[in-house]
Amino acid sequence: MTTTAIPLPTPAPSRRSAFDWVFAALVLAGTAYAFWRYNGSMDGYEKAVLLGSAPSLIALGWFWAPLRTLSLVVGAASLLAIGLYSGHRDAFGADLAVAEQLFLLKYGLASQSAILWMSFLVVLATGFYWLGLLTRSDAMEALGTRLTWGAVGMALIGTLVRWFESHQIAPDIGHIPVSNLYEVFIMFTWMTALFYLYYEERYRTRALGAWVMLIVSAGVAFLLWYAFSRSAHEIQPLVPALQSWWMKIHVPANFVGYGCFALAAMVALAALLRTADARSLWVGLVVLPLGLVAVLLGFAQFGALEEKTITGLHAWARKFGGVGVFLAVCVALRERFTARLPALPVLDELMYRAIALGFAFFTVATILGAFWAAEAWGGYWSWDPKETWALIVWLNYAAWLHMRLMKGLRGAIANWWAVIGLLVTTFAFLGVNMFLSGLHSYGQL
């Protein structure tokens, strides 16, 4: 039996380059400036996080070289935006209305402008990845990669500038932008895309970009719908339950997990289209989603449900119907869509690494969430619907990893399991907000 070698990254040089040391010096200088400029606005926890962030960012930049350029560009652009705001001060702080007057802010660096650029670049990158896939053009896929880097950069700029903007509205309004669905979907977008870019370089293949960026584009579509239908892009004060420093670490840790699980599911989908028999693909990817649409519509039509729930079911039915049609096209044209995919051992290894990393962070997030719950509600666990479904997600991936490590789980079962795992995760994140209520009802759609 022959095996296919899995490409690994080029070993890092034993000696640091001049750029490495310049990057480290700039990070340390930025940290020192932050302490000097904002020391009075930070508590002990925030100072500790800032101190820990500097060596962490340096280590990450040395481990993965593209992060150095990304960090410097994002830092410089964010400081430029802050400088433009700070040059126009009102009685409290920066005059946010100047964002409508200054060209760079209005069309590029204000948080909302940057996030719209992020959304545009994500969709454009996805399109070029698919053009590269269909035309077998390396140049198209390379352009998709560059656009994805641009989207990640604009997302991070938008996040940092939004953080600054929130502090300028009024005392005690400012907060890290991870407090509502709009803000966390921005995080999901850049985090999932960044993980993909890392694995793209590590395994030296761009063929998965078309698949992974689909889930990122779906996140962007939800983000835009949510922003414009609920005015969610407007910065709002935190509700009491979110006024905790636990939020600053619980939510990002959760979204490392969500991003990795999403990436793994799309890799698994690509692997299934390449290897599974046609009958199982038609049943699992087309018949079942469309059957679920029929069930949802039946509940909406004949069930004794609330009007809000019926509206939500119709919305989900349309989404599943669209997904079913797209998957039908993928199954019908699967030979063309999977011709440029890397070898199956590479796909399997990438999926495993993504799930393992996501599971580790999701575990940490669940533990942090328990501490947060004890502080906010007086108990570590209350079997709230959100908590219950988070436990289901954790058990699902714990079982997947156990079966792989102990029983050698591979192939179609592992791939189907990863795809279904994303559906479970999506319901835990969004479905609970739509159809159930509990202590986390402040996150309802």
326-358: per-residue pLDDT in tens? 889 999 999 889 988 999 999 999 999 999 999
Question: What is the structure's pLDDT at 406?
Answer: 92
- Is the pLDDT score of 173 beyond 90? no
Amino acid identity of residue 97, one-letter, is A
DSSP calls for 95-120 = -GGGGGTSHHIIIIISHHHHHHHHHH
Q: Can you tell me the distance from the alpha carbon of 310 to that of 324, in angstroms, rounded to the nearest whole number?
A: 21
Q: Can you tell me the distance from the alpha carbon of 439 to that of 94, in angstroms, rounded to the nearest whole number?
A: 36
- Is the pLDDT score of 2 beyond 50? no
User: What's the average model confidence in pLDDT over 262-277?
Assistant: 94
Question: Residues of the chain with pLDDT > 70: what percent?
Answer: 87
| pLDDT tens-place string over residues 372-386 | 888 877 778 788 888
- Is the pLDDT score of 418 beyond 70? yes
Query: CA torsion, points 35, 36, 39, 41, in degrees to nearest 10?
Result: -110
Q: Name which of 176-185, 203-212, 300-309, 319-328 the model is least confident about.
A: 300-309
What residues make up the domain containing 168?
66-190
Work out whether the CA dihedral 254, 255, 256, 261 comes out positive or negative. Answer: positive
- Higher pLDDT residue, 201 or 288? 201
With contact defined as beta carbons under 8 Å apart, do 191 and 259 qualify? yes
Question: What is the structure's pLDDT at 416?
Answer: 95
- Is the pLDDT score of 7 beyond 70? no
User: What's the average model confidence in pLDDT over 214-243?
Assistant: 86
Question: What is the structure's pLDDT at 440?
Answer: 56
Phi–psi pair at 189, nearest 5 degrees: -65, -55
- Higher pLDDT residue, 401 or 429? 401
Q: Can you tell me the distance from the alpha carbon of 197 to that of 58, in angstroms, rounded to the nearest whole number?
A: 19
Task: Name every residue whose Cβ is closer than 8 Å to that of residue 404 and which is 6 or more positions away in sequence.
Answer: 352, 410, 414
pLDDT band at 443 (very low <50, low <70, confident <90, very high): low
Kindly report the average pLDDT of the chain as a whole number.
Answer: 86
Question: What is the structure's pLDDT at 6?
Answer: 53
Question: What is the structure's pLDDT at 309?
Answer: 58
Output the CA–CA distances (angstroms, integers) from residue 410 to 5, 210, 344, 357, 363, in the order listed: 17, 23, 10, 18, 23
Q: Can you tell me the distance from the alpha carbon of 359 to that of 258, in angstroms, rounded to the nearest whole number?
A: 9
| pLDDT tens-place string over residues 73-123 | 999 999 999 888 877 665 456 777 788 888 899 899 999 999 999 999 999
Adjacent-strand bridge partners of 94: 89
- Is the pLDDT score of 366 beyond 90? yes
* Residue reference for tokens 């719950």: 373
Adjacent-strand bridge partners of 89: 94
With contact defined as beta carbons under 8 Å apart, do 285 and 327 qualify? yes
Is 163 a domain residue? Answer: yes
Question: What is the structure's pLDDT at 393?
Answer: 95
* Residue reference for tokens 């966390």: 184
Please give the tally of structural domains in the chain. Answer: 1
Q: Is 94 helix (H, G, I), strand (E, B) or coil?
A: strand
Residue 443: DSSP 8-state: G
Question: What is the structure's pLDDT at 91?
Answer: 47
Structure tokens at 214: 């689909």
User: At CB < 8 A and 24+ separation, what contacts does 126-133 make?
Assistant: 126/210, 126/213, 126/214, 126/216, 126/217, 129/206, 129/209, 129/210, 129/213, 130/210, 132/206, 132/209, 132/210, 133/207, 133/210, 133/337, 133/340
Is 303 a domain residue? Answer: no
What is the chain's alpha carbon radius of gyration, rounded to the nearest angstrom?
23
Question: Residues of the chain with pLDDT > 90: what percent?
Answer: 51
Question: What is the structure's pLDDT at 306?
Answer: 57
Angle among Cα 319, 325, 328 to the nearest 5 degrees reads 140
| pLDDT tens-place string over residues 130-165 | 999 999 999 999 999 999 999 999 999 999 999 988
Is 398 a domain residue? Answer: no
Measuring CA to CA, which residue among 211, 237, 227 is closest to residue 116? 227
Structure tokens at 161: 């500038």
- Is the pLDDT score of 198 beyond 90? yes
Q: Is 89 helix (H, G, I), strand (E, B) or coil?
A: strand
Is 223 a domain residue? Answer: no
Task: Name every residue whose Cβ is closer than 8 Å to that of residue 241 and which is 6 or more positions away in sequence.
Answer: 376, 439, 442
Q: Name the packing angle between helices 181-202 and 209-230 (round to 10°).
A: 170
Is 152 a domain residue? Answer: yes
Phi–psi pair at 94, nearest 5 degrees: -70, 145
| pLDDT tens-place string over residues 275-333 | 988 888 998 888 887 877 777 667 666 654 555 556 656 666 667 777 888 889 999 99
Question: What is the structure's pLDDT at 92?
Answer: 53
Output the CA–CA distances (angstroms, integers) from residue 134 to 130, 137, 211, 215, in the order listed: 6, 8, 12, 18
Burial 249-282 (b: 16+ CB within 10 A, else e): bbbbbbbbbbbbbbbbbbbbbbbbbbbbeeeebb
Is 50 a domain residue? Answer: no
Is 134 a domain residue? Answer: yes
Question: What is the structure's pLDDT at 5?
Answer: 46
Is 421 a domain residue? Answer: no
